[in-house]
Amino acid sequence: MSTITVENIAKRFGETQAVKNVSFEVHSGEIFGLLGPNGSGKTTSIRIILDIYQADSGKVSILGGPMTNEKLNHIGYLPEERGLYQDVQLERCLSYFASLKGLSEDQIKERLPRYLEKFDLADHAKKKAKELSKGMQQKGQLIAALIHDPEIIIIDEPFAALDPVNTQLVKKLLIEQRNAGKTIVMSTHQMNQVEQLCDRLVLIDHGRVLLQGKLTEIRERFRTNAMIIDALDPLPEQLDGVARIEKQNGSYCLTPQEGVSAQDLLSALVAQGIKMNTFEVAAPTLDEIFIQVVKEGSDRDE
Amino acid sequence: MRDLLKVFKFEFLTVFRRRSFILSLILVPLIPMLLLSVLNWINRDKSVTFQEAFMQEAGNPLPIGIVDQANVIKEYPEWLTYGKLIPAQSEDEARAKTASGAWQGFYVIEPDYLETGSMRFVKPQISMITELVQPDMLKELLTYNLIGADKERYLRYTNPIDFHYEYINPETADTRDQADDATFWVPYAVTMFFYMIILISSTMMMNVVTKDKENKTIEVLLSSVKPLDLFIGKIMAYGSLSLLQMVLWFGTLALVVKTGKTSLPFLESLAIPKSVFIASVPFFICGFLLYGSLMAGMGAIAPNLREGNQSTFVLTLPLVFTIISIAQLVENPFSSFTTFLTLFPFTSPVVMLTRLSVGPVPAWQLILSIVLLVGMVVFVIRGVTNLFSSQYLLSGQKIKVGLFLKTVFIGHRRA
């Protein structure tokens, strides 16, 4: 069931068309990747979803209808431009943000210590934000986005400024939230995190959707028929059934001739006495897909 | 509404708990009160004036003898000499007492004094205090005796005219005592005080809005609170804090004027009219809302505090104008110019209080002034809400003062 439905939204700032006919759906119990280069319209789309900006045209449906003040309390938001009150104690700052999300004082007293403990910030609760490291502040901001137990979590670059230990902590937390049936929209440039976490994604550039779908389907769609082999001995310059041989980081990328399947190629290599440790389909990384799609989009524009 | 109150509570307590705010709130009134207490302690005997205390505590000079060879001094009244000028029978006696250290010196009024005014002062060394005080005292003593040693006549001689004015139209007449310095001191002080406090408190509004941008908390807030609730919550919080500050500081000023008369004689004839106290609350609140809203609007479009501060001069020009015109306002409180500034909403929060500290203001001016001011406050707040939109708050563009004024006063459509 979709908890966020975005239909043909558009937004213009002066001469700049920030978002143009963007549509996508996000379902409960999934982590949805909102991807795109800098200035592509991701943040504007998020702000329209949150009703911070009004779309010039198009429609957004949240939890089955238009946004209301009540629904805002069911959304946890970690913006890219995030911060804490630098001269205010962390505990007091987070209590304020939690109260704005509709939590009562008793609920805050019960939940905040738990979250501070979970994020290893309990000893720093009385410190002012300016006395905390960047990573600690980032964790504090994550608490602000999660403390009211929102149904929808929208997070922009959640791993920026986190060390590997805390990155793992946040990943685990996001997976827990997904398993609990929450809807998560994650915007990031870290494609490895998208590959590990996202179920579906949309790629936006110049304010329009270039690509969307399930991660597995997208990778399948961009899969080539090339093979990667880790050969024990150097390969000869030509092989039967192989159109092109490229060396890649100690491995070989083989492009089969027209009509030659992976099975046929493997048989041909064995028959030619090639010894190898691995033989695998050369599936493109999300990084490569991202660059390819964005480049194609730019070429089309030109 | 609930969000608005949460914003109000957070902003109010954040500033109220700040050490610098508490110090300024307490120390500004505490320092003059402490100084006054010290002076009052010095003058704990209420009958002793500051001049007397100066004589007694600072110098406590020895008496000076007078050898009156012209026989002009008949009486040495205590209320005039405080026992510091003492008659001597002869110059020898005076020399002996000076030599023994009982007197600090003596005056000799020569036999031909009435014709020549000739007099000698015999003394072993110079004393700054007696040099300052005693010659005046001697002059007063001689004057008193020369006009017949009659206290009433002497007092009339030193203050020959006590005018009582009668005005055909008291509402528009300047009924002040032009000879009394206090006539001008109180309006000057009131004008300066309200100029400063409105300026300081409204500038705080810009600081707090730009701080949300600099702290990057604005987007988190906007994902929970409507921009208008944020604006109203903040202006309510800072308005309450400023009102608290104004009441405490102005109350202290009034208390110093009231209780400091024993120790500070120049306060004797000063009085802040009750009407100033009554009018100060509504005019201050409206003044703060007017300038605080404009400053908050400037903060909303400014990318940072530095750029915001650079553009506030235009907004504070009317207030600065009241200070430039302060002499004109105080000297001519009933002129057309002053009346105009009393009614003009951007100057009335200060000028009305200046006028009231001078004397009564016609009722129609008082009513018209507050109506125009409230109307302008509503108009400006409505205009500023155009600037308190997410698009302005989240953008970091350069300030265009023209666009700002157009948006506030003409209701320019949001970009």
Complex-level ipTM: 0.79
| Interchain CB contact of A71 with B (< 8 Å) | no
All residues of chain A having their beta carbon less than 8 Å from the beta carbon of residue B14 are 85, 87-88
| Interchain CB contact of B223 with A (< 8 Å) | yes
| Interchain CB contact of A44 with B (< 8 Å) | no
| Interchain CB contact of A141 with B (< 8 Å) | yes
- How much is the pLDDT for B171? 62
Helix pair B19-42, B2-16: axis angle to 10 deg: 50
Amino acid, single-letter form, for residue B22: I
| Interchain CB contact of B100 with A (< 8 Å) | no
Residue ranges in B215-311 assigned as alpha helix (H): 218-222, 227-259, 274-301, 305-310
Please state, for a pLDDT cut of 70, what percent of chain B lies above it: 84
CATH of domain A2-220: 3.40.50.300
- How much is the pLDDT for B170? 65
All residues of chain A having their beta carbon less than 8 Å from the beta carbon of residue B12 are none
All residues of chain A having their beta carbon less than 8 Å from the beta carbon of residue B415 are 13-14
Nearest CA in chain B to A98: B224
Q: Do B222 and A81 make contact, defined as CB atoms within 8 angstroms?
A: no
Cβ distance A43 to A156 under 8 Å? yes
* Nearest one of A7, A18, A24 to A58, comparing CA atoms: A7
Please state, for a pLDDT cut of 90, what percent of chain B lies above it: 31
> In Å, what is the CA distance from B105 to each residue of A187, B91, B92, B142, B249?
95, 11, 12, 18, 49
* Nearest one of B261, B251, B272, B270 to B36, comparing CA atoms: B261
- How much is the pLDDT for B132? 52
All residues of chain B having their beta carbon less than 8 Å from the beta carbon of residue A141 are 220
Nearest to B216 among A75, A82, A88 (CB): A82
Q: Spell out the long-range contacts of A289-296 with Cβ–Cβ below 8 A and sequence spacing 24 or more.
A: A289/A211, A289/A218, A289/A219, A289/A222, A290/A35, A290/A191, A290/A203, A292/A222, A293/A203, A293/A205, A293/A210, A293/A211, A294/A37, A294/A203, A294/A205, A294/A210, A296/A210
Nearest to A99 among B6, B220, B415 (CB): B6
Distance from CA of A12 to the nearest CA of B (A): 9
Q: Do B224 and A86 make contact, defined as CB atoms within 8 angstroms?
A: no
Task: Read off the pLDDT of residues B177-202 as tens digits, 9 standing for 90 and up.
Answer: 666 666 678 888 889 999 999 998 99
Distance from CA of A61 to the nearest CA of B (A): 16
Distance from CA of A14 to the nearest CA of B (A): 7
| Interchain CB contact of B222 with A (< 8 Å) | yes
In the DSSP assignment, the letter for residue A1 is -
Q: Do A69 and B219 make contact, defined as CB atoms within 8 angstroms?
A: no
* DSSP, residue by residue, A179-208: HTT-EEEEE-S-HHHHHHH-SEEEEEETTE
Q: Do B391 and A86 make contact, defined as CB atoms within 8 angstroms?
A: no
Task: Enumerate residue ranges in chain B where pLDDT < 70.
Answer: 1, 43-60, 125-134, 163, 165, 170-183, 261-269, 390-391, 396-397, 399, 411-415
All residues of chain A having their beta carbon less than 8 Å from the beta carbon of residue B216 are 81-83
Q: Do B220 and A82 make contact, defined as CB atoms within 8 angstroms?
A: yes
In chain A, domain spans: 2-220, 224-281
List, run by run, the mean pLDDT of 10-residue segments along chain A (302 residues).
Answer: 90 87 92 89 91 90 90 90 87 94 93 94 92 90 93 90 87 92 91 88 88 87 83 83 84 86 85 87 80 77 62
Nearest to B220 among A13, A79, A86 (CB): A79
- How much is the pLDDT for B412? 52
| Interchain CB contact of B5 with A (< 8 Å) | no
All residues of chain B having their beta carbon less than 8 Å from the beta carbon of residue A85 are 14, 215, 217
| Interchain CB contact of A293 with B (< 8 Å) | no
Nearest to A79 among B10, B14, B219 (CB): B219
All residues of chain B having their beta carbon less than 8 Å from the beta carbon of residue A89 are none
> In Å, what is the CA distance from B247 to each residue of B239, B253, B285?
12, 10, 11
Cβ distance A167 to A130 under 8 Å? no
| Interchain CB contact of B224 with A (< 8 Å) | yes
| Interchain CB contact of B3 with A (< 8 Å) | yes
Q: Do B220 and A85 make contact, defined as CB atoms within 8 angstroms?
A: no
| Interchain CB contact of B99 with A (< 8 Å) | no
| Interchain CB contact of A216 with B (< 8 Å) | no
Angle at the Cα of B189 from the Cα atoms of B184 and B195, rounded to 5 degrees: 130
- How much is the pLDDT for B54? 52
Task: Give the strands of the sheet with B64-68, arranged side by side.
Answer: B85-87, B64-68, B105-109, B119-122
State the Cα–Cα distance between residues B353 and B342, nearest whole angstrom.
Answer: 9
Nearest to A13 among B6, B215, B415 (CB): B415
Distance from CA of B241 to the nearest CA of A (A): 18
All residues of chain A having their beta carbon less than 8 Å from the beta carbon of residue B396 are none
Dihedral (Cα; B1, B7, B11, B16), 10-degree rounding: 50
All residues of chain B having their beta carbon less than 8 Å from the beta carbon of residue A87 are 14, 18
Architecture of the structural domain at B50-158: 3-Layer(aba) Sandwich (3.40)
Give CATH 3.40.190 domain extents, chain B: 50-158
Nearest to A100 among B6, B216, B394 (CB): B6
Nearest to A77 among B7, B217, B220 (CB): B220
State the Cα–Cα distance between residues A76 and B322, nearest whole angstrom.
Answer: 50
